[in-house]
A and B are shown apart, each in its own frame.
Chain A
Amino acid sequence: MTALTLKDAVIRYDRLTAVDGVSLELRRGETLGLVGESGCGKSSVARAIVGLQPLAGGTLTIEGETLQDVSNQRRQALQRKIQLLFQDPAASLSPRMTVRSLLAEPLKIRGTYTPESRARIVDLAESIGLGEQLLSRYPHQLSGGQARRVALVRALAAEPSIIVADEPTAGLDISVQGELLNLLRALRDRLGLSYLLISHNLNVVGRVTDRVAVMYLGQIVESGPTAALFRAPAHPYTQALLSANLTLDVSRRRERIVLSGELPSPSNPPSGCRFHRRCPLAQPKCAVDVPTLQASGERSVACHFPLATAPVVTPQAIAG
């Protein structure tokens, strides 16, 4: 069962095409990771999914209903099923409001503020560790973890079925990031939520997502079940990204692939494969032909010469 489908999405800012033909499928009850470096378009995808950014092309389908095909009223109702967990919780909470009024605000905006709904929110807040004594505090009196929990309760106030979390652990100390991730998983299972988790933190993505999609310069270059993709990436970019992850395990260090150059500008993307100028395995063909995302079972990769992901190596993969 699919919670959300994004098909061939294109997002433009003036003449700059930030997202160029991205398709994603979020299954009900799963956590899907979206990874990539700054400027790859992952936050634009998040903004489009929650309705903060119009699509210049492509379609968004929420629980079987395509937004373009329904009335405005229905679209708003569907859009409400998706809530965004903002990257910087401190900036998303008004410094002039107490936690109590911050929690009531989304209900008031939607006109669903009743004593019952208020009680429900306070219960929810309490169940995730925001006790009575915190409710009269202001955002600056909260720790990073507490501020994130306030933002989470606000997102859950609308009773969404899908949460888009944009870098939910950025800026959190490692000793408290686990708390938030454990909480997110417990809430997912308890409330039947689906998550799209956007992050550049590969440790977090590798540990908490079921499937993952890797973006490079506005396109998805690879996707698949997280464990399989981490174990054996098929795209050279995914391989380099994973190898760049700093690890405490000294023995893994020698295998690091250091890419040359930087992320090219999306306003003038390279010809052929967008990664070819930085790719250690690029062939002449890569500068000319645009690779398309090819599915094989649960995995997809957009590369002319994908790396072997299974013990059995296909002749084509070696021929490259």
Chain B
Amino acid sequence: MTLLTIENLNVSYRGSGRSAHILDGVDIEIGHGQSVGLAGESGSGKSTVAFALLGLLADNAEVSAAYAAFDGRTQDFAARETASLRGADIAMIFQDPMTALNPMFTIGTQLVDIQRRRFQKASRKALWARAEAVLADVGVQDAAARMHRYPHEFSGGMRQRVVIAMALLVEPKLLIADEPTTALDATIEAQVVDVLHRLRQRTSASMLVVSHSMGLIAELCDSVVVMYAGTVVESGKVADVLHRPRHPYTRALLACEIDPFAAFDPSQDLATIPGNVPDPSRRPKGCIFAGRCPARHDRCSEKPPQRHAGDGRPYACWLEAA
């Protein structure tokens, strides 16, 4: 049973004279209680997928999808129907916890207000008590007193816990986390990952983790969707994709990951992917990765077919499944 299905999601921006195609035929499926990672480098469009889901794209964005359904109901992306799910069925954990909180109000006030849309008839007292309990739950010590504090009185890691508490308070069916630990130090990141782990075990909410960090996705997700320049190049179970990547981009990307504990030859160069991501206003007609692909050949000037690996995983490449 799937919670979210999106087929052929397209997003483009129309500017003065030219238009930029940001997402090109993205398919995503998230099962109930499942955690899916959306991986990619800058310019891959991973955040655009999240923002399209939340109905937060700019006015000049043209959004369309062949089919979209959330929790059994079809959604019209062009009409921004999913915006009504925001803050109730879909909640978001933003990257930068400082800008996600209002500096003018206490944490308590913000944690209460976020619940208003979901629990319209509840009293402030009841909402306050709920907020306090969830705040304690995500590891904020002395939650009762901390409710009366302002965001600047919290450290980065504590602020991120507040933001996570905010997302949990609306009891969403889908929790989107956009680079939830990027702004945090290593030991604090470990704490927040721990909180997200416990959360996964306790709530039935599905999760979409948007990140450039394969390590974080390996840590938190069941499956992963790898994006490059606005297209999905490969998707599947985390263990399969990370250990048996099919698409040349996934392979090249994983080769760039450094394992500092592994033995290595210091005179050996580090792996890189030469070249740049194509300009979204001048996308190539064929395979989007062809310009940087080490396995490029003549057919790559045509759009590659969706292939399926032996285990059924889809990937978009002319190369035969290995």
A→B interface (CB under 8 Å): 37-38, 143, 173-179, 181-182, 200, 202-208, 230-231, 240-241, 243-250, 252-253, 256-259, 262-263
Residues of chain B within 8 A of A256, CB atoms compared: 190
B219's closest neighbor in chain A, by CB? A246
| Inter-chain contact A178/B272, CB cutoff 8 Å | yes
Given A174-B256, A178-B270, residue A231 in contact with residue B261 (CB < 8 A) = yes
Whole-angstrom distance between the alpha carbons of A204 and B269 in the complex?
A: 13
B192's closest neighbor in chain A, by CB? A258
Whole-angstrom distance between the alpha carbons of A202 and B187 in the complex?
A: 12
5 new A-B contacts at CB < 8 Å, known A178-B272, A253-B219, A257-B190:
A173-B41, A175-B272, A175-B273, A243-B190, A262-B155
Residues of chain B within 8 A of A143, CB atoms compared: 276
| Inter-chain contact A206/B261, CB cutoff 8 Å | yes
Whole-angstrom distance between the alpha carbons of A13 and B219 in the complex?
A: 39
A-B contact count (CB 8 A): 106
Residues of chain A within 8 A of B212, CB atoms compared: 173-174
Contact of A250 among B42, B213, B218 (CB under 8 A): B218
Residues of chain A within 8 A of B79, CB atoms compared: none
| Inter-chain contact A246/B215, CB cutoff 8 Å | yes
Whole-angstrom distance between the alpha carbons of A243 and B186 in the complex?
A: 9
Residues of chain B within 8 A of A257, CB atoms compared: 190
A206's closest neighbor in chain B, by CB? B260
B78 CB–A CB distance under 8 Å: no
Residues of chain A within 8 A of B214, CB atoms compared: 248
Residues of chain A within 8 A of B270, CB atoms compared: 177-178, 181-182, 207-208
B→A interface (CB under 8 Å): 41-42, 155-158, 185-191, 193-194, 212-216, 218-219, 239, 242, 252-254, 256-261, 264, 269-274, 276
Contact of A178 among B155, B185, B186, B256 (CB under 8 A): B256
Whole-angstrom distance between the alpha carbons of A172 and B189 in the complex?
A: 19
Residues of chain B within 8 A of A252, CB atoms compared: 261
B188's closest neighbor in chain A, by CB? A262
Given A202-B260, A206-B258, A206-B261, residue A174 in contact with residue B189 (CB < 8 A) = no
Contact of B261 among A181, A230, A244 (CB under 8 A): A230
| Inter-chain contact A246/B260, CB cutoff 8 Å | no
Given A173-B41, A246-B219, A250-B218, residue A230 in contact with residue B260 (CB < 8 A) = yes
Whole-angstrom distance between the alpha carbons of A206 and B215 in the complex?
A: 16
Residues of chain B within 8 A of A38, CB atoms compared: 156, 185
Residues of chain A within 8 A of B256, CB atoms compared: 174-175, 177-178
| Inter-chain contact B215/A205, CB cutoff 8 Å | no
| Inter-chain contact A174/B257, CB cutoff 8 Å | yes
Residues of chain B within 8 A of A177, CB atoms compared: 256, 270, 272
Residues of chain B within 8 A of A203, CB atoms compared: 257-260
| Inter-chain contact B260/A200, CB cutoff 8 Å | no
Whole-angstrom distance between the alpha carbons of A174 and B212 in the complex?
A: 9
Residues of chain B within 8 A of A182, CB atoms compared: 269-270, 272
Residues of chain A within 8 A of B185, CB atoms compared: 37-38, 200, 263
B183's closest neighbor in chain A, by CB? A38
Residues of chain B within 8 A of A249, CB atoms compared: 259
Cβ distance A104 to chain B, nearest Cβ, rounded Å: 26
Cβ distance B282 to chain A, nearest Cβ, rounded Å: 15
Identify 7 residue pairs between A and B in the complex whose beta-carbon atoms are under 8 Å apart, listed by A's number. A143-B276, A175-B273, A176-B273, A203-B260, A231-B261, A245-B186, A257-B190
Instruction: Across the A-B interface, give the 10 residue pairs with the lowest CB-CB distance, nearest first.
Output: A206-B260, A246-B215, A178-B270, A175-B273, A244-B190, A37-B185, A178-B272, A203-B258, A173-B41, A244-B186
Cβ distance A72 to chain B, nearest Cβ, rounded Å: 39
Residues of chain A within 8 A of B215, CB atoms compared: 245-248
A186's closest neighbor in chain B, by CB? B269
| Inter-chain contact A258/B260, CB cutoff 8 Å | no
Cβ distance B241 to chain A, nearest Cβ, rounded Å: 11
| Inter-chain contact A248/B273, CB cutoff 8 Å | no
Cβ distance B124 to chain A, nearest Cβ, rounded Å: 31
B228's closest neighbor in chain A, by CB? A175
| Inter-chain contact B189/A244, CB cutoff 8 Å | yes
Contact of A248 among B257, B264, B269 (CB under 8 A): B257
Residues of chain A within 8 A of B188, CB atoms compared: 37, 262
A256's closest neighbor in chain B, by CB? B190
Whole-angstrom distance between the alpha carbons of A258 and B193 in the complex?
A: 10
Contact of B269 among A178, A202, A250, A263 (CB under 8 A): A178
A205's closest neighbor in chain B, by CB? B260
| Inter-chain contact A174/B187, CB cutoff 8 Å | no
B41's closest neighbor in chain A, by CB? A173
Cβ distance B152 to chain A, nearest Cβ, rounded Å: 14
Whole-angstrom distance between the alpha carbons of A49 and B320 in the complex?
A: 55
Cβ distance A56 to chain B, nearest Cβ, rounded Å: 26
Residues of chain A within 8 A of B242, CB atoms compared: 248
| Inter-chain contact A248/B41, CB cutoff 8 Å | no
| Inter-chain contact A178/B190, CB cutoff 8 Å | no
Residues of chain A within 8 A of B191, CB atoms compared: 258-259
| Inter-chain contact B261/A246, CB cutoff 8 Å | no
Residues of chain B within 8 A of A181, CB atoms compared: 270
Whole-angstrom distance between the alpha carbons of A269 and B273 in the complex?
A: 44
